[in-house]
Amino acid sequence: MPITNAISIEIPRISILDEKGNFDEKLGKGLIPDADLLKLYEAMSSCRHLDEVAFRLQRSGRMGTYPQNMGQEATSLGAAYVLNNDDWLVTCYRENCGLFWRGVPMESILLHWMGDERGNAMPRPHFATPIAVPIGTQMLHATGLAWAAKYRGEKRISCTFFGDGATSEGDFHEAANFAANLDIPVVFCCQNNFWAISVPGKIQCSAPTVAQRGIAYGMPCMQVDGNDIFACVYAVKKATERARAEGKPSFIEFVTYRLGDHTTADDARRYRDQAEVDAWKAKDPLIRIRMLIEKRKLWDDAKQEAMMARIEKDIAAAIERAEHIEAPPRSDVFDYTFEELPADLRTQRETFETTSLGQERASNPASA
Amino acid sequence: MSTMMSTSPESPAGGLREIEFRDAIREAMSQEMRRDPRVFLLGEEVAQYNGAYKVSRGMLDEFGPRRIIDTPISESGFAGMAIGAAMMGLRPIVEFMSWSFSLVAADPILNNAPKMLYMSGGQFGCPIVFRGNNGAGGQLGSTHSWCVEGLYSNVPGVKIVIPATPEDAKGLMTTAIRDDDPVFFLESERMLGMKGHVPEGDHLVPFGQARLARSGDDITLVSFGRPVHFCLEAADALAKEGISCEVLDMRTIRPLDVGSIVRSVRRTSACVVVDQSWSFASPGSEVASIVHRECFDDLDNYVHRVHSVDVPTPYATNLEQEYLPNARRICEAVRACLYRA
């Protein structure tokens, strides 16, 4: 018997607006109307500016550890632009731009990183979940959310974001395997920014693309220029169409780059070459949109200046609100562990102000 | 003992019908699924195969594959997905074939489910029942014989239920499914075939309310789950020596019915805790600490504790029995505690 080929795979790579400002008219036609493009540009500029301000806040001791989004704004924003308002956006911690687009207030994100649990309470109805800092757990939650929607006969889908490093976690395999085998409408969005803190992509994945990991589960896969808002919108649109029409998952690899450090607790200069960073700076998702809108006569320096003034004012106001929120009441320690406060925790609350937590007979159990 | 319920064998509170422990669990799940469309069951082998231990027998036929769901062998996967589903308002019942297998799902069950409400500022609750076999199942070897109550009862945000009778299995399961917080429901493979009187209709047993399994005057035995039966066996033997044991079946470890323990010990002045988990930082050590604090002036001796030996569960049948807090070791502890050794 001759050896035959069991399978050949092809993975499309999608790029519409390249780093030089070249635009693929055929693929990009009608994808994002000019008016929306300007709004998306402003959203990305605002997210970028927040990163810069947040970095300074952290360095001056006004905020805890903060992960900058710089360079990766287009990915989650592209997804948020496509998703319906009642779809779930289940993120990790580098998707600020998409969350803001969906209406999550900037001060929620600031509050979270300033170390206030209330920043995680996404104001309803935003269909966004608390920021997931443990790597990968949110992929399973997203699959469960979409599965629940299917169970209830709702059309809602979920879209989840994670990094290249998270595809090494078992959670990725389990979520992808479930979604594919049980027909659950999830859009898996991997932000491949080449670095999991200091660990290079080569140590996470030896295949030529991360995208092909999805092939193993029988999902359609795409590799997308993650610094190209048009390509991001195009890919998520394809994936959400499949999710809605067939109730099935897709996998998207966004090729992008983290221009900043992993978090403010990191110094990426210790492990990355400056030449690599500089090469990616030229591919910045903001620069190419500005080239396009200037070419289309939609933008000029005056407009840029006016926009930045708006952004600076809004961010200053958000910081003001986040920094001046009243500290949470001490009772908050006890309020959210159970839906109803159990007796032993009630005793701990009553003895919280003393030196013997839970030990005093404030509420004598024998007479309870 | 006003808050405690006791059943007399002559007129069983559960009615005359006798069913197995596994059927009692299923009856609770099925009745709740008929009552509440948000409830569903998922896990390995639960549907086509009727459950590895036949707890879900017939449920696929009644409820169909939408609500009785066979999953891939993927504990972390289905536990994590259940959290997502619960966040969206459903009420999943997750079957772990064995609680030993829940260890690979530690992140979702310990790090996500009990914290979701807290970390979302009260926004996302996790009304999930995680259930399965717990403890030594009879020569399953140490990796399959975990008593997870020792580990998991340390974590805030979960309720831990460990029934000792078929009647309680139904009543506590019904309460667990209706509860708004994550509940860990610990069954014992060695007890699934045990028969008992179980009420046919709605049957709820509240959490945090102990059952008086046997009344007595000389000493209080505090236990939960399968070891309650070891205590009753020991109490029978000790009665012949003129020692009258009171046996409390705690039913739930979190919340713990401290009031019933304290009232009993203040009357008997002696207490032995019988706990199948390892002794260090265990439910047993917590009970001892509480009794020492609350009954300090009433005790005639310090609280004695009977646990599994601090080694991996032995494989050989005789060693497994010796390793567990069996009737022989309970009798020795009671005699020592009463200065009759």
What is the model's pLDDT at position A144?
A: 96
Residue of A nearest to B267 (CA): A366
Q: What are the boundaries of each domain within chain B? A: 18-197, 211-337
Paired strand residues for A14:
A224
Average pLDDT in the A16-30 region? 96
Q: Which two tokens stand for residue B247?
A: 């046996």
Residue A109 has pLDDT above 70, yes or no: yes
Tokens for B251, please give them: 């039913």
Concerning whether B286 is annotated as a catalytic residue, the answer is no
Please state, in angstroms and rounded to a whole number, the distance separating the CA atoms of residues A207 and A201: 10
Q: A361 falls in which pLDDT band (50, 70, 90)?
A: low
B65 touches chain A (CB under 8 A): no
B30-41, pLDDT tens digit by residue? 999 999 999 999
Q: Is B121–A118 a contact, with Cβ atoms under 8 angstroms apart? A: yes
DSSP string, A59-116: HTTSS------TT-HHHHHHHHHHS-TTSEEE--SS-HHHHHHTT--HHHHHHHHTT-
pLDDT value at A358 more than 80: no
Closest CA to B211 of B228, B226, B199: B228
Indicate if the pLDDT at residue A368 is higher than 50: no
| Best CA proximity match to A79, nearest among A243, A271, A288, A282 | A243
B211-337 domain in CATH 3.40.50.920? yes
User: Residue A365 and residue B258: Cβ atoms within 8 Å?
Assistant: yes
CB contact under 8 A, B156 and A365: no
Q: Which of A104, A174, A186 to mutate to test the interface with B (most CBs of B within 10 A)?
A: A174
Q: Are B69 and B76 in contact (CB under 8 A)?
A: no
In this structure, the number of other CB atoms found within 10 A of the CB of residue A324 comes to: 8
Query: Residue A92: its pLDDT value, please?
Result: 94
Catalytic residue selected from B144, B233, B294, B332:
B144
Cα-based angle A310, A314, A317 (whole degrees, multiple of 5): 145
Nearest-CA distance from B16 to chain A in Å? 34
Task: Tell whether the torsion through CA atoms of B164, B168, B173 and B178 is positive or negative.
Answer: negative
Count Cβ atoms below 10 Å from residue B3 Cβ, excluding itself: 14
B123 touches chain A (CB under 8 A): yes
Distance CA(A107)–CA(A118), nearest Å, equals 10
Q: Using an 8 Å CB-CB cutoff, list chain B residues near A146.
A: 84
Please answer yes or no on whether A120 and B111 come within 8 Å at the CB atom. Answer: no
Checking if the pLDDT of A364 tops 60, the result is no
Among residues A85, A113, A111, A117, the alpha carbon closest in space to that of A98 is found at A85
Contacts of A181 in chain B (CB under 8 A): 72
Q: How far is B101 from chain A (nearest CA, A)?
A: 15
Q: With a threshold of 0.95, tell me whether the complex ipTM lies above it.
A: no
User: Which of A117, A147, A344 shows the shortest C-beta gap to B81?
Assistant: A147
Residue of A nearest to B81 (CA): A144
**From A271, A296, A310, A330, the catalytic residue:** A271
Per-residue exposure over A27-57, b if at least 16 CB sit within 10 Å of its own CB, e if not: ebeebbeeeebbebbebbbbbbbbbebbbeb
Length of chain A: 368
User: B226, B220, B197, B185: which is closest to B298 by C-alpha?
Assistant: B220
**Using CA atoms, how far apart are residues A219 and A229, in angstroms rounded to an integer?**
23
Question: Do A144 and B80 count as a contact with CB atoms less than 8 A apart?
Answer: yes
Residue A16 has pLDDT above 60, yes or no: yes
What are the start-end ranges of the E strands in B136-177?
A: 159-161
User: What mean pLDDT, rounded, does chain A reach?
Assistant: 92
Q: In what side-by-side order are the strands of the sheet with B39-43?
A: B68-70, B39-43, B91-98, B129-133, B183-187, B159-161, B252-254
B89/A174 touch (CB, cutoff 8 Å), yes or no: no
Place of tokens 């009258």: B244
Residues of chain B with Cβ-Cβ distance to A148 below 8 Å are 84-85, 87-90
Cβ atoms of B75 and A136 within 8 Å: the answer is no
First to last CA, chain B: 30
Q: How large is the angle between the packed helices B21-35 and B166-178, nearest 10 degrees?
A: 30
Q: Which of residues 262-321 of B touch A (CB under 8 A)?
A: 262-263, 266, 290, 293-294
**Residue A330: active-site member:** no
Query: Is the CB of A181 less than 8 angstroms away from the CB of B259?
Result: no
Q: Which two tokens stand for residue B211?
A: 């059952």
CATH topology of domain A13-323: Rossmann fold (3.40.50)
pLDDT at A334: 86
pLDDT tens figures, B45-58: 999 999 999 999 99
| Alpha-carbon span B32 to B40, nearest angstrom | 9
Instruction: Specify the pLDDT at position A212.
Output: 95
Return the residue in B69, B81, B154, B155 with the most chain A beta carbons within 10 A, the one to mutate for interface testing.
B81
The half-sphere exposure of A329 on its side-chain side, counting CA atoms within 13 A, is 6
Is residue B76 within 8 Å of B121, Cβ to Cβ? no
Q: At CA A299, angle to CA A298 and CA A303, rounded to 5?
A: 130
Q: What is the pLDDT of residues A33-75, one digit of tens each?
A: 999 999 999 999 999 999 999 999 999 999 989 999 999 999 9
**In B, residues 180-199, which contact A (CB 8 Å cutoff)?**
180-181
Flag residues of chain B having pLDDT under 70.
1-13
A262-305 pLDDT, tens digit each = 999 999 999 999 999 999 999 999 999 999 999 999 999 999 99
Q: Does domain B18-197 have CATH number 3.40.50.300?
A: no
Q: Cβ contact (<8 Å) for B84 and A178?
A: no
Q: Give the tokens for residue B340.
A: 């009759």
Please report, as a single letter, which amino acid is at residue A80.
A
pTM score, whole prediction? 0.87
Mean pLDDT, to the nearest integer, of A173-181? Answer: 96
Say whether B294 and A146 touch across the interface (CB within 8 A): no
Chain B residue nearest residue A120, CA to CA: B120
Residue-level pLDDT at B5: 53
Task: Give the mean model confidence (pLDDT) for residues A73-85.
Answer: 97
Beta carbons of B72 and A148 less than 8 Å apart: no
Cα of A327 to nearest chain B Cα, Å? 14
pLDDT level of residue A362 (50, 70, 90 thresholds): very low
Out of A48, A112, A242, A262, the active site residue is A262
Q: Where in chain A is the domain with CATH 3.40.50.970?
A: 13-323
Q: Which of B20, B27, B32, B75 is the catalytic position? A: B75
- The answer to whether domain B18-197 and domain B211-337 are alike in fold is yes
